[in-house]
Structure 1
Amino acid sequence: MTRSPATPLPPPKARRRLRETAALTQTQLADRVGVTPATVRAWESGRTTPRGRKREAYAKLLKTLAEEETVRAPEPEPQTEAKLEPEAKPQLQPEAKPQPQPEPQHQSQPQPVAAPEPVALTPAQAFDALYAFSAPALVRQTFLLTGRREQARESVERAFQAAWEHWPEVARDRDPVGWVRATAYEYALSPWQRLRPRHRHPEPPPADPGDRTLLNTLLRLPPRHRRTLVLYDGVGLDLPETAAETEASTPATANRLLRAREAVAGRLPALADPQVLHRRLAELASNERLRAADPPTVRRGGERRARLRTRAAIAFTVALIGTTALTVRTAPTHYEPPVSPGQAVRGVPQRVAPGALSDEELELRQKLRDQVQDGPERLSPRLE
């Protein structure tokens, strides 16, 4: 029994274009196919390829969307023969005298207003717009992870500096804010932060006793559980997006979230409801006076840091090349074993030449020579 060939699929970019043209979100399309939004995101990015029944359902849905797009597409206006005739056919009759045309009557008709063309932003302007839009919220979110105001501000600034260094990649990313948020969280929760001198001096806690208790409860959670709780209940991401940002599987992320909620509800029973917990996390982050630097300052700081790293790399390379050249110039061309210096050794008798044999030695030598060296005498000794 032969299997029917699989339904062809359009390229990943065409899949996304068909979905966006039909005004469908990834969640809506995932509900139609019967998969998760993360799976649809992976199909549209080309990371994975659908198989089996999911592939057939996905291919049929895309085919339907393509047919609907073809129906909605406006047909080009047919060019009339009158417009093509002067260019295609020569004039066979003499030109008629031009008739006087009546003067056109000016009527007040509303002129269509042309839509303003979108202004292309420079990379610096796009970066400044992204920073102004997301930096204040990211600082507040990072404060929930660290409990330190300056560390939260520095983490977000470092993340935006990294984004400015990789701006073409970040600008083409589907979620630039998520890219910066993941980088800021990684820097804020780095174990090396504990070795900094400022960690020896605690910052003043929040003024409100409830906020202080909630912040202490969050800081007692393991870093992975704390990050999962802030992303899901604080930021409002769904479970697959939280799992993707924390680089964990969906079941592991769900387990971390449940454990974090249980720990928070154990100390604060009033926050057992996720809606209440979400509201309290937002209030805790909003009650703190957290500031963010200006976008040009962040950009200049990132550029200065990049120049310092480039100069350090160049200096290290020059030093390495100089050391290698000096070694090649001064090193010997072959191996020469070192000659050990002579030392006087005591307690060893002097080496002397052999002297004349004594009478006993002469007698023993003669006896040995007289003995038979081979024969039955040696194999079967006789009794004397």
Structure 2
Amino acid sequence: MHKMQFLQFFLCITVLLLYCNVSRSAFLCELNQANPFKVALTSTVDIAGKGNFTTIQSAVDSIPSGNTKWIRIQIFAGVYREKVTITYDKTCIFLDGAGSRETFIEWDGHERTNTSATFTSYAENLVVKGIGFKNTYNLGPKQNDLVPALAAEILGDKAAFYNCSFFGVQDTLWDVGGRHYFYQCYIQGGADFIFGKGQSFYEQSVLYYSLETYGQGTYIGYITAQGRDSADDPSGFVFKDCVILGKGKAYLGRAWKAFSRVIIANSKLSDIVVPVGWDAWQFVGHEDQLTYAEEDNSGPGADTSKRVPWQKKLSEGELNQFLSVDRFINQEGWIAKLPTVD
């Protein structure tokens, strides 16, 4: 996000956070133990016309409003050139692709953060497996203006992504709010490409920084921009057993809100990481409120000897809290009550 876009960006997000359901919910969907996927039914999407639907959006729209049983949408391999939106009332959806390099959803929306996403989910209780999400506006040989161009926007509580990929440049993945789990995913971008107020756990995933140059010169980008805004806000991004690599140089994160929180642990960091590591951005002078921490990482980018002096050193108890999926996002055991994804 450039400073000239900050006011527009702030206003858009303020409106969304006021009206979107990003709070915790105790609601869990009904599993069908007699089905191998534990779902009530499966519908199919095939761009070639050999399924129940030819577009993903039409399959989503077919699910009854207020649905309480897990429904699987099997999406065959192909490039689906469409914007997909899951509204609040379409709960309990399992999007099951053929693989993150086989099933792609692509669009080229841009300019406005809150309207550009290729994939948007407002609903709670969502599972996605084996799908690649792309915003093509700045991908490939062309280099358009650096503006928000999101691959995905996730607003509902209790969303899990397995073996998915997210491709963009600026603002690739808007982790808006709620508890989210990302397992063995690939996320690519250059400017704040994982951002938002999510309370999210990223495990065994790859973060690829791609914006080595922009315009006529080099560009130093940002991997995260987390939006925790108060001391009692439970949100934060935890990256455990991940790999951070790419081309060029990038900060691990910058503070989008006053209590921004990011923890990176047991991960491999390449030399793309700038030595200082972190940027207080709009909150210089209030760095004591930020929680940026690194623990037991390896690789040339993991050298913390030149990190900002205000980087946090967490206690063993704090690390145990953040680095456990169950303690950080899964207190109700909702992850164990999802459809079968193996």
Is the helix fraction higher in 1 or 2?
Answer: 1
Between 1 and 2, higher relative CO (CA 8 Å, sep ≥ 6) is seen in 1
* TM-score (ref. length: structure 1): 0.18
